[in-house]
C-alpha cells in the first residue's frame, strides 16, 4: 500500500494531492514507476486559527515532494523507514514535526482593555499569545486498505524534549471513483496527552498576568471529518476540492488563549502531478 493514500495531511493542499494520487501513481504500461513524487497545487483556501488575536492560515500554492526507496522514504518533511510491507498492511517508523505549532506563527500583539476575569483595565495593555516551538516526534504508522476502505493508525512521541508528550491518531476513509471523478469522505480521532496539550495550549506562571491567568491543560481527544473530491483532466492535471472540520478537545477549548473550539479548512484549485 502506498503511504500517500493514507498519510496524515498537515495541510489541506496535501489532501488535494492525496485525492489525485489514485491516478497519478499509476505508471503507463511498459514504464517503471518512479521513486520520486513531484507535484504542485494552485488555488485558494484557508484554515481557521483557534487562537485569540490570530490570523487564519491561508493556502494559495504549495509543492509536493517525496522520494520512496526500497525501505527509506522522505514525504513532505516526514522521514521514515518501512519495516513491514505486504498484502495485509504497511508499517513505517516515521520522524516528523508536530503540527500544533503552525497556529502560533500567525498571532498579533493587540491592546486589550479587560483583565483576565473580564474587569475593565485603567489603561489598554498590549498582549500577544505566547510562542511555542516545533517538536520533533518519532512514531509508528500502520496503513491497511481493501474493498472496505482504508484505515490508518499512528502513535508519536516527542524526542526533542519540547512537550515530552505523545499523540495517538486513527482515521478511516472510503473512496468512490466514477471514470474521471473521485470522492473520498473520511473521519477519525486524535488523542493528545496532557503533556502535549499543556505545552501548546496551557499558560505557565511566567506567561500569566493581568490579561490571562495560569492554565494547565489535561489530555483530550480531537475528532475530525474530511471530504476530498477531484476531477482528473489528464494523467497529470486535476481539479480538486477539500474541506475539513476538526473539533478540538475540551482541554484545548478551555484555554484562555483559545477563541474557537474548532478548526475549519478548505481548499479549491488545480493540481499537477509529475
pLDDT attached to residue 31: 60
Looking at residues 224-250, what average pLDDT do you find?
A: 94
- For the beta carbon of residue 36, count every other beta carbon within 10 angstroms: 11
Cα–Cα distance, 130 to 116 (Å, whole number): 15
Say which DSSP state 198 is in: H
Q: For residue 217, what is the enclosing H or E element? A: none
Cα–Cα distance, 254 to 20 (Å, whole number): 38
Cβ atoms of 196 and 216 closer than 8 Å: no
pLDDT attached to residue 28: 57
pLDDT attached to residue 8: 38
Containing structural domain, residue 196: 3-273
Cβ atoms of 52 and 252 closer than 8 Å: no
pLDDT attached to residue 6: 38
Percent of the chain with pLDDT over 70: 87
Cα–Cα distance, 7 to 77 (Å, whole number): 12
Q: What are phi and psi of 104, to 5 degrees?
A: -80, -10
In this structure, what C-alpha cell is assigned to residue 52? Answer: 485569540
pTM: predicted TM-score of the whole model, two decimal places: 0.88
The count of structural domains within the chain is 1
CA angle, 243 as apex, 7 and 178 as ends, to 5°? 80
CA angle, 126 as apex, 124 and 128 as ends, to 5°? 145
pLDDT attached to residue 13: 61
Q: How far apart, in Å, are the Cα atoms of 265 and each of 56, 225, 240?
A: 9, 11, 14
Which is more confidently placed, 28 or 60? Answer: 60
Which is more confidently placed, 147 or 7? Answer: 147
Of the listed ranges 17-31, 51-65, 185-199, 215-229, the least confidently predicted one is 17-31
pLDDT attached to residue 97: 94
Say which DSSP state 19 is in: H
The owner of cell 498519510 is 7
User: What are 138-178's pLDDT values in tens digits?
Assistant: 999 999 999 999 999 999 999 999 999 999 999 999 999 99
Looking at residues 8-24, what average pLDDT do you find?
A: 57
pLDDT attached to residue 5: 40
Given a cut of 80, whether residue 7 has pLDDT beyond it is no
Cβ atoms of 74 and 66 closer than 8 Å: yes
Mean pLDDT over all residues of the chain? Answer: 88
Cβ atoms of 101 and 57 closer than 8 Å: no
Looking at residues 103-131, what average pLDDT do you find?
A: 82
**What's 110's domain CATH number?**
2.40.160.40
- Would you place residue 98 in the very low, low, confident or very high pLDDT band (cuts 50, 70, 90)? very high
- Would you place residue 255 in the very low, low, confident or very high pLDDT band (cuts 50, 70, 90)? very high
Amino acid at each position: 500500500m502506498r503511504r500517500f493514500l493514507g498519510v496524515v495531511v498537515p495541510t489541506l493542499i496535501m489532501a488535494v494531492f492525496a485525492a489525485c494520487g489514485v491516478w497519478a501513481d499509476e505508471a503507463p504500461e511498459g514504464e517503471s514507476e518512479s521513486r520520486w513524487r513531484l507535484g504542485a497545487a494552485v488555488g485558494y483556501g484557508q484554515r481557521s486559527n483557534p487562537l485569540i488575536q490570530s490570523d487564519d492560515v491561508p493556502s494559495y500554492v504549495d509543492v509536493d515532494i517525496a522520494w520512496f526507496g526500497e525501505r527509506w522514504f522522505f514525504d513532505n518533511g516526514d522521514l521514515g523507514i518501512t519495516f513491514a510491507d505486504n498484502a495485509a498492511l504497511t508499517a513505517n517508523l516515521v520522524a516528523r514535526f508536530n503540527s500544533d505549532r503552525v497556529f502560533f506563527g500567525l498571532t498579533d500583539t493587540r491592546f486589550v482593555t479587560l483583565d483576565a476575569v473580564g474587569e475593565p483595565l485603567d489603561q489598554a495593555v498590549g498582549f500577544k499569545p505566547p510562542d511555542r516551538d516545533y517538536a520533533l516526534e518519532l512514531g509508528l504508522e500502520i496503513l491497511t486498505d481493501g474493498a472496505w476502505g482504508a484505515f490508518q493508525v499512528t502513535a508519536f512521541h516527542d524526542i526533542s524534549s519540547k512537550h515530552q508528550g505523545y499523540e495517538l491518531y486513527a482515521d478511516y476513509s472510503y473512496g468512490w471513483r466514477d471514470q474521471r471523478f473521485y470522492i473520498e469522505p473520511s473521519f477519525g480521532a486524535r488523542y493528545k496527552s496532557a503533556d502535549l496539550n499543556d505545552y501548546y495550549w496551557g499558560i505557565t506562571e511566567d506567561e500569566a498576568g493581568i490579561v490571562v491567568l495560569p492554565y494547565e491543560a489535561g489530555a483530550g481527544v480531537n475528532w475530525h471529518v474530511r471530504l476530498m473530491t477531484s476531477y482528473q483532466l489528464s494523467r497529470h492535471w486535476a481539479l480538486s476540492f477539500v474541506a475539513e472540520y476538526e473539533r478540538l478537545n475540551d482541554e484545548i477549548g478551555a484555554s484562555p488563549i483559545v477563541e474557537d473550539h474548532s478548526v475549519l479548512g478548505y481548499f479549491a484549485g488545480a493540481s499537477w502531478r509529475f
